[in-house]
Amino acid sequence: MLTIRTIGRRFAIMLLVLAAANQAVSQTVSQLIMPWQEPQQRDAADVGRIMGPIEQREPSRDLNVLWVWGIDQFHDQWRDAHEYAWVMDRYCYDLLPHVPRLTITPVYYFPTEEQWQKADLVVFYLMPHHDGATGFDDGTEPEGDPRSIWDYDMIDAHQSRGGGLIFLHFAVYEGSGVELAKRIGLAWGYGDRERNIRPTVSGSVVTMTLTPEGFNSPILKGFPKQFDLHDELYWPLTGDQTSITTLVTAEAAPTNRYPQDGPPKPEQMDGKKWPVMWTKEVGKGRVFGTIAGHNFFAFNDPYFRIILLRAMAWTMNESFDPFKPLVNLHLER
């Protein structure tokens, strides 16, 4: 049986169009769900100050990066609310190819063993949607479905070789969350969903607060102690928080349902410090995880781009400098 693991740009866009075919042509799914959400505007001087000057034009070695993506099968009538295909297209074809000596390859749902062996970094931006034991949330596991291919042995081997991992937003939802949390620090499992106590902030302006460790991290270098993102966050997360370095926290608001009539009000926030971004080192491998990155708005935000691109450099033990020109490149929708 032929299983497609990697996919071309044209086919990716075709899948995106099919996934959102029942939506208005002039609006994205995110705009339909949260019509009040707007792209985050950043001051160019602040962005430049945080980035700093470019002193190194290319990485120290050839780099092989995999970007793992899929079609959103989770949101029922709001298919592609996470805009996995749009984000993959922007980063794999418009941005990362501009980094010298870096090869970026989009991968559909899970890399092959050969791809893992050659990868310096694997970025996951999708929902694995697999519980590792009984199949998917609906109790099925269709034969040949790429979502059924989830091999922790490959991930372990990658980390033992010193390979980097980045898990973005709903990519941290896999099975019970327990096994994934062992590799990346924190995860969100089907048990966390069923407890239905997850406070979320969906697409609203969320105040991020740097921890002391975050303030001193190369990933957040130059950022103010507090800054805002337009995003959706969710908790609780499964995992041992003593095994990670928490970089950024945020307060939570009550769980919301789609479509939403507006962001939560300040008085609705719970005052707690929930983890949003973190790092972890496993063997020789480095991990960056975050529950931020809900949709295209986040990935087109220069602040979020700085964080993500710095995380990519950090997980590969490389300088951020060659990635800096990408921060302000192709910010259009």
pLDDT of residue 235: 77
CATH tag for 9-20+37-196+275-326 (out of 1.10.10, 3.30.2310, 3.30.870, 3.40.50): 3.40.50
User: H or E element: which one contains 106?
Assistant: strand 102-108
Residue 41's CB is within 10 A of a number of other CB atoms, namely 7
pLDDT of residue 198: 47
**pLDDT surpasses 70 at 99:** yes
Over the stretch 217-230, which tens digit does the pLDDT of each residue have?
999 999 999 998 88
Between 148 and 287, residue with greater pLDDT: 287
The fraction of the chain above a pLDDT of 70, given in percent, is 68
Over the stretch 291-310, which tens digit does the pLDDT of each residue have?
998 877 889 999 999 999 99
Residue 301's CB is within 10 A of a number of other CB atoms, namely 24
pLDDT of residue 173: 82
The fraction of the chain above a pLDDT of 90, given in percent, is 49
Contact status, residue 326 vs residue 309, Cβ threshold 8 Å: yes
> Average pLDDT in the 19-27 region?
40
273 pLDDT band, cuts 50/70/90, is: confident
**pLDDT surpasses 70 at 215:** yes
User: 63 is written with which tokens?
Assistant: 């780099």
Is the peptide bond preceding residue 97 cis, with omega within 30 degrees of 0?
A: no
* Listed range (65-79, 95-109, 132-146, 251-265) with the worst mean pLDDT: 132-146
pLDDT of residue 26: 36
Give the Cα separation of 94 and 88 in Å (integer).
9
User: 322 is written with which tokens?
Assistant: 């060659």
pLDDT of residue 6: 44
User: 304 is written with which tokens?
Assistant: 């979020």
pTM: 0.83
286 pLDDT band, cuts 50/70/90, is: very high
> Average pLDDT in the 240-261 region?
77
pLDDT of residue 83: 79
Contact status, residue 310 vs residue 323, Cβ threshold 8 Å: yes
pLDDT of residue 294: 81
Over the stretch 52-91, which tens digit does the pLDDT of each residue have?
999 999 999 999 999 999 876 555 444 455 678 889 999 9
Which residues 6+ apart lie within 8 Å of 150 measured at CB?
Answer: 110, 128, 130, 132, 174, 175
**pLDDT surpasses 60 at 140:** no
pLDDT of residue 90: 94
pLDDT of residue 137: 41
Over the stretch 154-194, which tens digit does the pLDDT of each residue have?
999 999 999 999 999 889 887 778 889 999 999 987 655 55
Over the stretch 106-135, which tens digit does the pLDDT of each residue have?
999 899 999 999 999 999 998 775 444 333
SS3 at position 160? helix
State the chain's mean pLDDT as an integer.
Answer: 79
Q: Where are the domains of the chain?
A: 9-20+37-196+275-326
Give the Cα separation of 287 and 200 in Å (integer).
24
pLDDT of residue 142: 44
**pLDDT surpasses 70 at 4:** no
pLDDT of residue 2: 39
Residues forming beta bridges with residue 66, ordered by sequence position: 105, 122
Between 24 and 71, residue with greater pLDDT: 71
